[in-house]
């Protein structure tokens, strides 16, 4: 096989509960991931070494050296297989960079699936999941997609059944936010407030809303413990969230560590209208309608 293409979705966290800071610097999380129809494409072609090129709107913000997560994934896969394979990776980027939608993790998952195929390794999903977990806590979810709850650092995953398709609008900001800086701000705000940080637990009402496909109920139970920190770092996101609510969003939330804002719509038509309103009123730089859940990294 000389060229393989894989499509990988972005994610939004419909619940992100962040426990107290652990001694190892991580937090225990309850993280309900939901894969949505904004996709990066990762193409892998036969080549001597492992290289990456990035195309698309956000390409200038993505490193093409060995720190690129897709390169790291391909190298980890070759190491796992015990041989020095080569691949020229080309990423067509649509997922915002440093936007809280796991774009880098998506590319890593895409590279794992693409190189597994290109190199004819035939490794089972369990092996890819193990390699993915070592690459980053969001990478295993990008492989499976759908809706899933992650515990621990987010990497211990259980798939969740959903009772239908949910329609979303994502307001993309100019410039990203680093995940580490948002967690640091969250810790700083918590230390300053002196309030007890509860152990994170899964919201049963949210699970029920997902299971029955009830968008109205899901909208009221969306939650993100990183939101106060993201809003402190980017105060201009608060009016964006408010504008979405005023235009009838069933729920409005910062996606993961931000700065992308996610709005739950009633249906596909409402999502299109909401995206249009957010951009024409100038509240959002770009707004994109999408749906979920969708499959994880998929060969096309
Ligand atoms: P998350 O939601 O998982 O916290 P994010 O969506 O906020 O992550 P990413 O788009 O994954 O953030 O990018 C985080 C950083 O990773 C970027 O600033 C970029 O420098 C680096 N990076 C490395 N490889 C990639 C890649 N293939 N695509 C995007 N960013 C990458």
148 closest CA partner among 138, 159, 156: 159
Q: Which pLDDT value is given to residue 273?
A: 97
Examine the pLDDT at 131 and tell me if it is beyond 70.
Answer: yes
Q: Give yes or no for a cis peptide into 259 (omega within 30° of 0).
A: yes
Residue 20 annotated as binding? no
Q: Which pLDDT value is given to residue 1?
A: 66
- Does the CA dihedral 144-149-151-154 come out positive or negative? positive
Give Cα separations from 217 to 230, 245, 249, 252 (angstroms): 24, 15, 12, 13
Residue 25 annotated as binding? no
Instruction: Name every protein residue with a CB atom under 6 angstroms from any ligand 1 atom.
Output: 62-63, 67-70, 91, 97-105, 107, 138, 176, 179, 256-257
45 is catalytic: no
pLDDT in tens, 53-62: 999 988 999 9
Q: Determine the average pLDDT of the residues in 87-96.
A: 97
pLDDT in tens, 134-146: 999 899 999 999 9
Q: How confident is the model at residue 154 (pLDDT cuts 50, 70, 90)?
A: low
Q: Point out the ligand 1 atom lying closest to the alpha carbon of residue 10.
A: 6
* Ligand 1 center–CA 57 separation, angstroms: 14
Return the structure tokens found at 189: 């705000």
pLDDT in tens, 237-275: 999 999 999 999 999 999 999 999 999 999 999 999 999
Give Cα separations from 22 to 135, 154, 155, 187, 294 (angstroms): 20, 14, 16, 11, 33
Instruction: For the chain, give the percent of residues with pLDDT over 90.
Output: 88
Higher pLDDT, 225 or 22: 225
Residue 96 annotated as binding? yes
Examine the pLDDT at 147 and tell me if it is beyond 70.
Answer: yes
Q: Point out the ligand 1 atom lying closest to the alpha carbon of residue 91.
A: 27
pLDDT in tens, 160-182: 999 999 999 999 988 889 999 99
* Ligand 1 center–CA 163 separation, angstroms: 30
Examine the pLDDT at 19 and tell me if it is beyond 70.
Answer: yes
* Ligand 1 center–CA 56 separation, angstroms: 15
Q: How far apart are the first and last CA of the chain?
A: 14
| Mutation to probe ligand 1, out of 50, 52, 62, 224 (largest number of atoms < 8 A from CB) | 62
- Which residue's C-alpha comes closest to atom 11 of ligand 1? 104
Give Cα separations from 282 to 4, 97, 196, 206 (angstroms): 40, 21, 39, 31
Q: How confident is the model at residue 125 (pLDDT cuts 50, 70, 90)?
A: very high
Q: Which pLDDT value is given to residue 281?
A: 82
Residue 6 phi/psi, 5° resolution? -125, 140
106 closest CA partner among 31, 6, 3, 233: 6
pLDDT in tens, 28-76: 999 999 999 999 999 999 999 999 999 998 899 999 999 999 999 999 9
Examine the pLDDT at 155 and tell me if it is beyond 70.
Answer: no
Q: Determine the average pLDDT of the residues in 73-81.
A: 97
267 is catalytic: no
In three state form, how does the secondary structure of the chain look? CCEEEEEEEEEEEEEEEEEEECCCCCEEEEEEEEEEEEEEEEEEECCCCEEEEEEECCHHHCCCCCCCHHHHHHHHHHHHHCCCCCEEEEEEECCCCCCCCCHHHHHHHHHHHHHHHHCCCCCCHHHHHHHHHHHCCCHHHHHHECEEEEECCCCEEEECCCCCCEEEEEEECCCCCCHHHHHHHHHHHHHHHCCCCCCCCCCHHHHHHHHHCCHHHHHHHCEECCHHHHHHHCCCHHHHHHHHHHCCCCEEEECCCCCCEEEEECCHHHHHHHHHHHHHCCCCCEEEEEEECCECCEEC
* Ligand 1 center–CA 205 separation, angstroms: 31
Collect all residues with Cβ–Cβ distance below 8 Å to 199 and sequence separation of at least 6: 19, 20, 28
> From the candidates 40, 93, 107, 138, which is the catalytic residue?
138
Specify which residues 3 forms β-bridges with: 45
Q: Determine the average pLDDT of the residues in 200-225.
A: 97
pLDDT in tens, 271-281: 999 999 999 88
């Amino acid at each position: 096989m000389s060229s393989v293409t894989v499509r990988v979705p972005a994610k939004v966290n419909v619940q992100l509960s962040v426990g107290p800071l652990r001694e190892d610097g991580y937090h225990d999380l309850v993280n309900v991931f939901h894969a949505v129809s904004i996709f990066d494409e990762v193409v892998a072609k036969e080549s001597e070494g492992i290289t990456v090129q990035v195309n698309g709107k956000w390409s200038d913000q993505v490193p093409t050296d060995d720190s690129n997560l897709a390169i790291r994934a391909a190298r980890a896969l070759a190491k796992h297989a015990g041989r020095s394979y080569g691949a020229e990776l080309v990423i067509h980027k649509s997922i915002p960079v440093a936007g809280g939608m796991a774009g880098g993790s998506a590319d890593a998952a895409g590279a794992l699936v693409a190189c597994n195929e290109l190199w004819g390794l035939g490794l089972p999903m369990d092996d890819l999941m193990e390699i993915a977990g070592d690459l980053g806590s969001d990478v295993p979810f990008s492989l499976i997609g759908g809706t899933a709850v992650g515990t621990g650092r987010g990497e211990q995953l259980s798939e969740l059944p959903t009772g239908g398709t949910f329609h979303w609008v994502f307001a993309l900001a100019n410039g990203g936010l680093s995940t580490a800086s948002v967690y640091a701000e969250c810790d700083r705000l918590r230390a300053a407030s002196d309030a007890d940080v509860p152990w994170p637990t899964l919201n049963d009402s949210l699970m029920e809303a997902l299971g029955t496909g009830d968008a109205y109920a899901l909208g009221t139970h969306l939650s993100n413990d990183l939101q106060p920190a993201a809003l402190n770092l980017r105060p201009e996101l608060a009016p964006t969230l408010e504008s979405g609510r005023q235009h009838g969003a069933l729920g409005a939330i910062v996606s993961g560590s931000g700065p992308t804002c996610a709005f739950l719509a009633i249906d596909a038509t409402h999502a299109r209208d909401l995206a249009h309103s957010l951009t024409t009123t100038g509240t959002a730089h770009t707004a994109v309608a999408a749906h979920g859940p969708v499959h994880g990294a998929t060969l096309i």
